Amino acid sequence: MVAFIIPSNYGAVIGVALGAIPVLGFVHGMVTGSLRKQAKVPYPNSYASMELAKENAEQFNCAQRAHSNFLENSSQTMLFTLVAGLKYPEYAAGLGALWVFFRVLFLYGYVYSGKAQGKGRMIGGFFWLVQGALWGLSVFAKMSSKSQQTYGARAQSHPNPLARKLFQVAEEKKSNVTVSADVTTTKELLELADQLGPYIAVIKTHIDILSDFSQATIDGLNALAAKHNFLIFEDRKFIDIGNTVQKQYHQGTLRISEWAHIINCSILPGEGIVEALAQTAQDPSFPYGSERGLLILAEMTSKGSLATGPYTSASVDIARKYPSFVLGFVSTRSLGEVEASVAPAQGEDFVVFTTGVNLSSKGDKLGQQYQTPQSAVGRGADFIISGRGIYAAADPVEAAKQYQQQGWEAYLARVA
Ligand SMILES: O=c1ccn([C@@H]2O[C@H](COP(=O)(O)O)[C@@H](O)[C@H]2O)c(=O)[nH]1
C-alpha cells in the first residue's frame, strides 16, 4: 500500500481540478445545447451540415468543436493538476487556474468572436503552453521525490557520509528497521542487540534508562554494531540551551558523542541547539566528525503532541540551514510538503525516521499512537522504529524478522 501525503494547502488544487474544470465542462455543454436549439440540429447529429447551412449552423459547429477540444484536454489536465499538486500545490493550483482562464477565452473566441472558421479561438491558445507546464510539473514532481528512489541510489548521491552509510546498511541488509531497545540493564541491551542485529539497520537506545551503564555498555554496543553492521541512535532528545547540550552530548558520564552515530534534539530552544551540537561534532579536534549526525524531532507520536504546525515548519527551516550535520527528521511522515521559509537546496534528501510502529496494537494507555510499517513507509518513513512491538514480543527475533519483511516490502512498493 502506498499512502499519498496530502499537503495542507491542497484545497486550492482540488478547487481547480475537481471544481473549476468540471464547471467549465458544464458551461461548454450549456452553450452547445442552446446553440443546437437555435441551429435546429436534431440529435444524434454532432455537427450541423454546412450544405444545409441553417441559421447559426457555423456558430453551433464552433461550440461543438470547442466542447470536443475541451473534452480532449480536460481529463489529463485535471490529472496533471492533482498529481503535481501533491508536491507543488501552489504552482499546480495557479497553473490549473490559468488553464481555466485560457480555456474560457478559447470558448469565447471560438463561439462568439464572429471570426470565420472559429479563428477567434486563438485568443485562448496559450492553454497549450500551460497544459504542457502542468504535464512537466507532474512528471518532475514524481521524479524529484527522493523517497521514491532506492536506498542504493540515495547512498550514491547523498552528500552526507553518515546518510550514505545508513542507506548502504539498509540496502545490504534489506532492512529499514530501527529497534527501540528500551530495556533497563546492559545485559538485556547487549543480548537484544546481538539477537536482533542481523535484521535491523539501526539500534535506538535510551541510555539513561539503564540501571548499570558503564564502559562495558559502550564497548559491548560498539562491538555488536561492528559485528552486525548496524548504526547506533541515542534517542536523547536534547532540549536545552547550546552551552548545556554541548556538555550533555560530549561530556558527563554518558559520553554520547563517543558511541552514538545518530542523536536527536527538539528545536524548542531555537536554532542555537542545532548550532551548538553541530559545532561540537564538527570541531576539527572531534575524532568522529563525518560519522555523526543529528535528527530533528519535528513531530511526536503521542496524543495531543504540540510538535505540529509552526514547530514542524521551523524544524524544516533549521534543518535546511545545517545540511552537513542534520540528517533528517523524526516525524510521522515525509516533511517535503511542509510550508517552510527556507527554500530547499537542489537535491535535498532528508532522512525520515518514524517512531510508533507496531503491527498488533493501535496505541498504549499513556497516549502512544501506532501505525503499521506499511502506513509509515507509505507516508514517507525511510526507517521505521519499533520498540515493544519487537522486544516485548513472545519471540523478539521472529518479530524483528516480520517487521523487516513488512518494512522492506512497503519500501519496495514505494520505489516500484
Ligand atoms: O514521537 C516519538 C518520539 C520517540 N518515541 C520513542 O520511540 C520508542 C517507541 O517505543 P514503542 O515501544 O514502540 O512504543 C520509544 O523509545 C519512544 O521514546 C516515540 O515513541 N514517539
Q: In this predicted complex, what is the ipTM?
A: 0.99
Would the CB of 369 count as within 6 Å of ligand 1? no
Residue among 301, 333, 386 to mutate when testing ligand 1 (max atoms within 8 A of CB):
301
- Amino acid identity, position 170: A
Which atom of ligand 1 lies at the shortest distance from residue 300's CA? 1
Q: Residue 158's closest CA among 328, 334, 381?
A: 328
Q: Which of 355, 364, 372, 386 to mutate to test the pocket of ligand 1 (most atoms within 8 A of CB)?
A: 355
Give the residue, by CA position, lying nearest to ligand 1 atom 5.
355
Q: What is the pLDDT of residues 281-337, one digit of tens each?
A: 999 999 998 899 999 999 999 999 999 999 999 999 999 999 999 999 999 999 987
Q: Is the pLDDT of residue 175 over 90?
A: yes
Cα 314 from Cα 276, distance rounded (Å): 17
- Residue 204 CA: nearest ligand 1 atom is 16
CA distance 179 to 383: 10
At 332 the pLDDT is 97
> Strands, DSSP E only, in 15-169?
none
Those residues whose C-beta lies under 8 Å from the C-beta of residue 218, and which sit 6 or more positions away, are: 255, 258, 259
Ligand 1, atom 11, residue with closest C-alpha: 387
The position carrying cell 521514491 is: 148
Ligand 1 centre to CA of 409 (Å) is 23
Q: Does the Cβ of 389 fall within 6 Å of ligand 1?
A: yes
Using one digit for the tens of pLDDT, what is the confidence trace for 67-107?
A: 999 999 999 999 999 999 988 899 999 999 999 999 999 99
Among candidate residues 115, 237, 317, 401, the one labeled active-site is 237
* Active site annotation includes 240: yes
- Confidence check: pLDDT of 53 > 70: no
**Whose CA is closest to atom 16 on ligand 1?**
180
> For residues 414 and 353, what is the distance between their CA atoms, to the nearest angstrom?
16
- H or E element that contains 195: helix 186-196
- Per the DSSP assignment, residues forming a β-bridge with 264 are 295
Asked if residue 164 belongs to a known ligand binding site, the reply is no
Which stretch of 5-14, 50-59, 255-264 has the lowest confidence by average pLDDT? 50-59
pTM of the predicted model as reported, rounded to 2 decimal places: 0.78
